[in-house]
Amino acid sequence: MYHFIQKLHSGWAYLALLLLLFAVINAIIGLTSKKEFTAKDRKISLFALIGTHTQLLIGLILYFVSPLGKNAFGQMSNAALRLTSLEHPLTNLIAIVLITIGWSKHKKLINSETKHKTFVIYYGLGLILILSRIPWNLWF
């Protein structure tokens, strides 16, 4: 079961990152070209939100069935174990909280420019945090 969930978590990460990157680029284009915020923009951002939340759920399941997760917790002297047991989960959780805040904030806004700006800031920060803590050596 562990290997299946690990492959699912790695595979879904590609989709989640693509959706998040697409949402950020779409928001940047909308902000810079002063486009009206449409239902298409909302759907793109919603799919990115769903993709990252699904990745979080898969990651939490993996964390508790993985020998690299909770069993390695507290081993701060080993950089690889520290990344997989603490830095990766914690940073990505913070990133997904930022993405969720961005989604919640946009619903209260009326102006299209501020909606696009909200997504650029919150989804962009989330994307940067996620990219900073991906265990690249395990991916390639």
Instruction: Give the model's pLDDT for residue 94.
Output: 97
36: left (phi over 0), alpha (psi -120 to 50) or beta: beta
Residue 59 tokens, joined: 């990651």
Find, among 118, 116, 119, the residue nearest to 32 by Cα: 116
Q: How confident is the model at residue 69 (pLDDT cuts 50, 70, 90)?
A: low
Instruction: Give the model's pLDDT for residue 74.
Output: 66
Using CA atoms, how far apart are residues 129 and 89, in angstroms rounded to an integer?
Answer: 11
Q: Which residue has the higher pLDDT, 42 or 82?
A: 42
Residue 81 tokens, joined: 């174990």
Instruction: Give the model's pLDDT for residue 123.
Output: 98
For 4-9, the CB contacts below 8 A with 24+ separation are: 5/58, 5/61, 5/62, 5/65, 5/66, 6/62, 6/66, 8/58, 9/55, 9/58, 9/59, 9/62
Determine which helix (DSSP H) or strand (DSSP E) holds 46, and give its type and residue range.
helix 39-65
- Look at residue 72 and tell me whether its pLDDT is greater than 70: no
Percent of all residues in the chain with a pLDDT value above 70, rounded to a whole number: 92
Residue 39 tokens, joined: 């239902």
**Are residues 115 and 106 in contact, defined by beta-carbon separation less than 8 angstroms?**
yes
Average pLDDT score over the chain: 90
Place of tokens 């990460």: 13
Q: How confident is the model at residue 11 (pLDDT cuts 50, 70, 90)?
A: very high
Instruction: Give the model's pLDDT for residue 18.
Output: 97
> pTM for this structure?
0.90
Residue 94 tokens, joined: 């913070």
Tell me the mean pLDDT in the region 20-33.
97
Amino acid at 54: T
**Are residues 120 and 24 in contact, defined by beta-carbon separation less than 8 angstroms?**
yes
